[in-house]
Amino acid sequence: MFNFFKTKGDKMNARKIDDNFSVTGQITPDQVKAVAAAGFKGIVCARPDNEEGGQPSFDAVARAAEAEGLQIVHIPVSGQLGEGQIIRFHDAWKKMPKPILGYCRSGARAGSLYATLKR
């Protein structure tokens, strides 16, 4: 399993896109406390469940996020972005508190969802 969410002391290795959105690879339920400590208020998961062996389920990450008071939404992307995924992301973007951390296997699909806001 690829995990690009690494902590170095109190530093998080998420790629900041702007003040309201950052991306990272797969996170685990144990890492959600660090997400909250880093100041994120919401999480968008763009990774489908069971994409890779050993990957935590969205529900497991969601339970940890909710325990930390974070809002979380699952918008799984497999292949090209579809209209439904874009609509769901735009709706979530309007409603969720910022900043938001988006994750998937590498952060690319989460970043692609965010890029649709700039069209």
Distance of CA 81 to the CA centre of its chain: 16
Q: Is residue 2 part of a domain?
A: no
Amino acid type, 100: I
Q: Is residue 73 part of a domain?
A: yes
Interval 103-112 mean pLDDT: 95
Question: What's the total number of domains in the chain?
Answer: 1
pLDDT at 4 > cutoff 50: no
Q: Domain containing 97: what range?
A: 7-118
To which residue do tokens 């919401």 refer? Answer: 42
Q: Is residue 21 part of a domain?
A: yes
What's the rounded Cα separation, in Å, for the pair 34 and 30? Answer: 8
Interval 93-101 mean pLDDT: 98
Q: Is residue 89 part of a domain?
A: yes
Q: Is residue 90 part of a domain?
A: yes
Token pair of 118, please?
């700039």
Q: Is residue 68 part of a domain?
A: yes
User: Could you report how far apart the first and last alpha carbons of the chain are, in Å?
Assistant: 32
Q: Which residues pair with 2 in a beta bridge?
A: none
Cβ 114 vs Cβ 17: under 8 Å: yes
CA-atom Rg of the chain in angstroms: 13
Which CATH number covers residue 81? 3.90.190.10
Average pLDDT of the chain, as a whole number: 91
What is the pTM for the complete model shown?
0.90
Token pair of 84, please?
């439904």
Q: Is residue 94 part of a domain?
A: yes
The rounded percent of the chain whose pLDDT value lies above 70 is 89
Q: Is residue 1 part of a domain?
A: no
Measured between alpha carbons, how far is residue 57 from residues 10, 16, 26, 64, 91 in Å?
Answer: 26, 24, 10, 11, 23
